[in-house]
Amino acid sequence: MKRFLLTLMACVAVASSYALKYDVVVAQDGTGDFTTIQEAVNSVRAEMQERKTIFVKNGVYREKVVIPTNCINVTIVGESKDSTILSWGDHAKMPLPGTDKPMGTFKTYTLLVRGNGFKAKNITIENDAPQLGQAVALHVEADKVEFVNCRFLGNQDTIYAGKENCRQYFKDCEIEGTTDFIFGPSTAYFEACLIRCKKNSYITAPSTPEYCKYGFIFNKCRIVAADGIDKVFLGRPWRPFGQSVFIGCFLDKHIRPEGWDNWRNPENEKTARFVEIGNNGPGASMEKRVAWCKKGKKNEKKEYEVSRVFSSSVEKWQPEE
- Is 242 within the bounds of a domain? yes
Measured from the Cβ of residue 164, the count of other Cβ atoms closer than 10 Å reads 16
| Residue 46 within a domain | no
Specify if 202 maps to a domain.
Answer: yes
Of the residues 157, 230, 252, 261, which is catalytic?
A: 157
- Whole-angstrom Cα distance, residue 133 to residue 156? 7
The per-residue pLDDT for 298 is 85
Query: End-to-end alpha-carbon separation of the chain, Å?
Result: 46
Q: Single out the catalytic residue among 23, 180, 252, 261.
A: 180
pLDDT of residue 169: 98
157 is annotated as an active-site residue:
yes
Backbone CA torsion sign across 150, 155, 161, 162: negative
The H-or-E segment that residue 43 falls in is helix 37-43
**pLDDT confidence of residue 8:** 43
- Report the relative pairing of strands 294-295 and 243-247 from DSSP bridges: unpaired
Regions of the chain where pLDDT drops below 70 = 1-20, 46-48, 313-314, 321
Neighbours of 203 (CB within 10 A): 26
Which amino acid appears at position 286 of this protein?
A: M
Residue 51 in domain? no
In a domain, 258, yes or no: yes
CATH (domain of 276)? 2.160.20.10
H or E segment at 174?
Answer: strand 174-177
Q: Check residue 241 and give its pLDDT.
A: 98
Convert the pLDDT of each residue in 223-234 to its tens digit: 999 999 999 999
pLDDT score of 7: 44
Q: Is residue 194 part of a domain?
A: yes
Query: Could you tell me if residue 40 is inside a domain?
Result: no
In-domain check, residue 265: yes
Number of domains in the chain: 1
Residues facing 268 on adjacent strands: none
Domain holding 159, by residue range, is: 80-309
State how far the alpha carbon of 140 is from the alpha carbons of 120, 158, 218, 229, 307, in Å.
12, 11, 18, 29, 21
Phi/psi region, residue 257 (left: phi>0; alpha: psi -120 to 50; beta: rest), is alpha
- CA-closest candidate to residue 86, choices 33, 138, 24: 138
CA distances from 316 to 75, 140, 143 (A): 21, 19, 11
